[in-house]
Chains A and B, each alone.
Chain A
Amino acid sequence: MKKLLVATMLMLFATSFAFAGNTITIKGSDTLVRLGQRWAEEYMKHNPDVVIQVSGGGSGTGIAALLNGTTDICEASRDMKEKEYKLAEQKGLKPHRASVALDGIAVFLNEDMPIKELSIAQLKGIYTGAITNWKEVGGPDHLIILYGRENNSGTYAFFKEHVLKGEDYAERTQTLPGTAAVVNAVSKDVNGIGYGGIAWATGVKYAAVKPDDATPGILPTVETVMSGTYPVSRELYWFFSGEPTGELKKLLDWALSEEGQKIAIDMDYIPLKK
């Protein structure tokens, strides 16, 4: 019985390798998935013998898949956690990280919300639950309705680290699957606030974010994110289970080339600094 099991597993393993020849799987961040798909389409046009499968699921999902060996490239909107690096080490992997684009995390407000700008400190207060009413930040007298992302998302982790400074989200934060769902919710809720990649925002307005009380609010745009003046911006990564070689390396180099970065701009992502 055990032999049979081992034999089947070996067979599965062998077939997965046989297919792996010219098939590249990319999995991970929902923020990056649209760009990954566009890149894959273009790359497959240039290289018809390569098949690239792109799927989302969240950065955490992608990293777990990379560690479990079920994906070649993991797209992530955050760095791997220390815990994950350790786990990779245990599994004998040396994850290779490459930045492929930039992204700003925008704060979304309903179009009818009179507030135009919020400081980082105010955002932290709002999302940790210290500030519960819009009037505390100069808005109407109404409870603030918090929308956020599920805890497997890189956006969730990034916002928690850089805006909440590691503190927990207020428990009444409604977690939604995907930035599109957050944008949809805020667009239907005058008292709602949400966050997500700026490439996603339609139907809601951005809040200008003030790094501190003295500095005027900055809107997330390609220029402000590229120059680093917009305070809530981040790098988007591709992780490999080791130094990329062969087809993987070709794909990465192409994504970072002028042509690849041009596609990123067309898709409303922000290209890497030259």
Chain B
Amino acid sequence: MQHIQLGAIDYTILIVYFAFVLGIGWVLRRSVKSSEDFFLSGRSIPAWIAGLAFLSANLGAQEVIGMGASGAKYGMMTSHFYWLGAIPAMVFVGIFMMPFYYGSRARSVPEYLKLRFDEKTRGFNAVSFAVMTVFSSGISMYALAKLLELLLGWSFHTSVALSAVVVLAYIFLGGLTSAIYNEVLQFFLIVLGFLPLVLLGLKDVGGWAGLTAKLQTVATNAGFAPGAWSASWRHLNAASANPMGVEWFGLVMGLGFVLSFGYWCTDFLVVQRAMAADSMTAARRTPLLAAFPKMLFPALVILPGMIAIALHVTRGGLLPIGSDGVPNYNLAVPVMLAHYLPSGLLGLGLTALMASFMSGMAGNVTAFNTVWTYDIYQSYIRPGRSDGHYLRMGHAATVFGILLSVAAAYATTRFNNIMDMLQLVFAFVNAPLFATFLLGMFWRRTTGHGAFFGLLIGTAAAAIHHGLVLPYGAVPGLKGGFLGTVLHTYSSEMAQNFWTAIFAWTACFVATILISLLTRRNKSDDDLKGLVYALTPRLTDHDLPWYKRPATLGAVVLGLTLVLNVIFW
């Protein structure tokens, strides 16, 4: 692939952006006086800022590059990740879960698990989460460096060093506040950087009508019904009728319920942003306010991929073809940037792309340093020290968190399989987690042993299911079937993942209930005040104007999402 030539103006935009990012860290360094300031922004962030950061922290490489790639590969069905997956889960976490997270004054998700269950459940979650965040941030760094190498011809080392130093500097200086402020900046940059691309692309293909007409060719060429790339629900009756290879039940339960709720409700990376909010109402409104822009994100991240595949098929040769003869979908968005944007806006678009990678990295690093310091260091290594001691540890954790991410990025260049394997293991650990939280928050009889062993059994169920099934056309190994016999073949990897999650969740749910009934309660009703639904006083929000009430906001969000689903049915 030919390298993109950047002009002086493009470099200037990039440099100005870096100056602002570092400047924000520099200005905020004075506001960090205690560990609570560093890790939780002193719980002083207004709802709208926390909401945009909530979105942005998740807006890493995975979203911008990955959703564009999925838009090209699966078309409009990719919107399920938003309108079926993310949005309902965000409403749920805002209305039902935030009262316990924020109200318990827990400083992290693992700490909530300790308050609600016991030490071992917290330890398990803290350690697996810490390892996972370091690797996710390493993967982000790796993906960014690879992309810049391919697009601009920059050396891999330069890109890794640059992103590591910038992210390190602004988190080290200003802690979570700095990360959050930069995430808000990055949010607007991503919107303003990608929107012209979408508008130009749409104009080029002849609007939505022109796009659907071209996507019919894409669909029929691939052997599907003509509308398969431009409808979200219509072709879900059978897994063989749509490019994603899933049927509606696996999609709704696997993606819509287990995976999305598991991610948005239990992942400390996003929950941390809401915990930093300045009041209970603000914490509850954080995910709800985030849901409004999130709802429109498919237009920004999925649409470019759909336009790219439409142009690739009807005009020929837009996307580079990989060695396996399949277009390289991951390049859909970068190729579109180079295709439409002239010098000037190209700089803005590339800066937005980098911003998205860096916000993803920073989100992981801030979550890592908090969980490491509070849940591992303060709990097991050096308890009972002064707050200043833990603040210094937070700074140190930021440095070695970044160093470990760099190491992970380089490990990926050597052993691609190790990273795939780790991601698989983490998927097994994460899939059942939502069952534990659901039972913990709504059933006071759930015991510490029940939660811990339920989680282990759920994780094992995920691994066993994965080991006994294969996606269509894959060989036994990392893709599944490693237990020797293949009991079932799914029509796609996506379908396999959804069902692994469903099995893991169900196993954890059932096992936690059974073990809880067989073991003695380790927390009395008094201990569980503020941690369990039935034992927490109902929050009243009648003193708020209607548009600020979480329940009203949630209903509006869900209503609008339903409308979007119907429009693009």
Tell me, yes or no, whether A binds B.
no
Residues of B at the A interface (CB closer than 8 Å) are: none
